Amino acid sequence: MEEIKVTWLYATRIWWSLAWRVLVFSGLAGLLLGLLLGLLGAAIDIDSDLIQAWGQIGGTLVSIPVGIWAVKAILGKDFAKYRVILVPSLESRVEARLKDQTPEH
């Protein structure tokens, strides 16, 4: 497999692909969570400062799985002339080959 030299342009394109997904989908998830918390808080008469604090914590927590999803979404995605993929490291390939060659007793 041919390896492409990592340039600033490649890094920027991959970063942007990740950044806009995290920004948009975390924003939408945070908006929905905030709306739900606000409606729930109003329905059971909870202090708005407490609801705001819960919203901030919830928004931060919801951004974690959204960020992981965004990384998964760009892995294997085609970027014009290249794609971002995971390949086994040289060390893991050597270990697997050595394991295959060891006789079992």
pLDDT digits (tens, 9 = 90+) for 30-58: 889 888 888 888 898 888 888 888 888 88
How many CB atoms sit inside 10 A of residue 70's CB? 21
Confidence of residue 98 (pLDDT cuts 50, 70, 90): confident
Entry pTM = 0.71
What are the residue boundaries of the structural domains of the chain, listed by start?
8-101
Is the pLDDT at 10 greater than 80? The verdict is yes
Mean pLDDT of 16-27: 94
Is the pLDDT at 96 greater than 70? The verdict is yes
Q: Rounded mean pLDDT of the chain? A: 88
